[in-house]
Amino acid sequence: MIDFLHEAQQLFPYTQALRRDFHMHPELGHQEVRTAGIVAKELQSLGLEVTTGVGKTGVVAMIEGSQPGPVILLRADMDALPIHEETGAEYASRTPGVMHACGHDAHTAILLTAARLLHTIRHELPGSVKLVFQPAEEGMGGAEGMIADGVLDNPKVDVTLGLHIWNEQPLGWLGLAAGPTMAGTEIFKLRIKGKGGHGAIPNLAVDPILAGAHVVNALQSIVARNTPPLKAAVVSVTTFHGGEAFNVIPPQVELTGTIRTFDLEIREMVLRRFDEIVQGVAHAMGCQVESQHTRMTPALINDAQAAQVAQETARHLLPDSQIETNGPFTMGGEDFAYMMEKVPGLFMFVGSANPQKGLDYGHHHPKFDFDEAAMPRAAALMAATAIELLRKHSL
Ligand code: NI
């Protein structure tokens, strides 16, 4: 096997410069115009034909192998978050209130680096590589937009591969598990309507705050009493808005929150119980309720064979790694699951924390930053795994 790790380490200044530039100039979902422009320019500099505007601000390019063969899709996400950065780093965000707090700056730089590695050996590729730079991963439908624009077709994709740097684990850790890896996510919104009135005369009002409080309590029974103890589910009420004055019972309250599950049967049960509890409890308290829940992402399920290929590749390429083969890794969601739902593949986690350097704040924290030494490891792993998956698929 080509020593991709050595090659990626040679390219580290390139990767780091890109990542820090993206970090200084973060862009929110579907606004990644500057980022997409740099991505397109870098790909064009390799002589690749580049398609922009896929799923609004996404970028796609192909590395054609010399022989006909399967097509692997490699994906990076490009969007930042509406968070005000507090790292104090010299490469901190120059845009107030917007920050790369999830590491998508790294993902974009890593995939551009992996593209260079694969482009160098394009004549030996046992198939073709579709490079996909996706916008709007953070709950804004970026993956679905690219799928609608045909990213999985022309040429048809045979296997998918993506990764996330992972600050929950130290540098050197790799998460390469078969099966459920990240949760399926739903968002819900409730409007509980009672009857407003004077705070001193509650008997003439129907209090939606009390009804809402009972709904919040009762929803906890879904995980505690309805979910099999060896299965995972989360039901979190995260906003509760109502009322303006201390002596007025408001006419309505609004609640929002999220539901996380892995199994489809558990998901169906949780959603059914959710509806029963919300309707039943609100009505019992004399209120009407408008309720809706929307799927944000399916559960992310890694293909077993692809996971095995990645594990073997990692053992050769990064022998110092601690490889975790048992998922799931988080109840967080990831919209790459939409692509993997259509074309099975693998989503890898690359440990990136370094507590000695203070680089261990969690994803989405205003002080989030990671050890950049994770980037060449990730780029090499992505390139090498891509080749092995193409080879497996050609058999
Ligand atoms: Ni992310």
Distance 381 CA to ligand 1 centre (A): 18
Please state whether the peptide bond connecting residue 180 to the residue before it is cis, i.e. omega within 30 degrees of 0. Answer: no
Distance 133 CA to ligand 1 centre (A): 13
388 is written with which tokens? 């092995």
Please, are residues 110 and 70 in contact by the beta-carbon 8 Å criterion? no
Identify each DSSP E strand in 127-251 by its residue range: 128-134, 159-170, 173-175, 179-182, 184-193, 197-198, 233-242, 248-249
Distance 366 CA to ligand 1 centre (A): 14
DSSP for 326-366 reads: ----BS---THHHHHHHS-EEEEEEEEEBGGGTB-PPTT-T
Domain boundaries, the chain: 4-181+299-394, 184-297
Distance 334 CA to ligand 1 centre (A): 7
Residue 53: its pLDDT value, please?
98
| Active-site option among 7, 27, 77, 79 | 79
| 79 assigned to active site | yes
Helix and strand numbers (H, E) in the chain are: 10, 16
Domains 4-181+299-394 and 184-297 agree in fold: no
| Active-site option among 137, 186, 303, 334 | 137
**Whole-prediction pTM:** 0.92
pLDDT tens for the chain, 395 residues long, are 679 999 999 999 999 999 999 999 999 999 999 999 999 999 999 999 999 999 999 999 999 988 889 999 999 999 999 999 999 999 999 999 999 999 999 999 999 999 999 999 999 999 999 999 999 999 899 999 999 999 999 999 999 999 999 999 999 999 999 999 999 999 999 999 999 999 999 999 999 999 999 999 999 999 999 999 999 999 999 999 999 999 999 999 999 999 999 999 999 999 999 999 999 999 999 999 999 999 999 999 999 999 999 999 999 999 999 999 998 899 999 999 999 999 999 999 999 999 999 999 999 999 999 999 999 999 999 999 999 999 998 76
Task: Report the topology of domain 184-297.
Answer: Alpha-Beta Plaits (3.30.70)
Residue 395: its pLDDT value, please?
66
Distance 232 CA to ligand 1 centre (A): 21
Residue 118: its pLDDT value, please?
98
Assigned superfamily of 4-181+299-394: Zn peptidases (3.40.630.10)
| Sequence-separated (6 or more) residues with CB below 8 Å from residue 307 | 176, 177, 178, 179, 325, 346
Residue 309: its pLDDT value, please?
98
Neighbours of ion ligand 1 (CB under 5 A): 102
Distance 335 CA to ligand 1 centre (A): 9
Distance 348 CA to ligand 1 centre (A): 12
Distance 68 CA to ligand 1 centre (A): 33
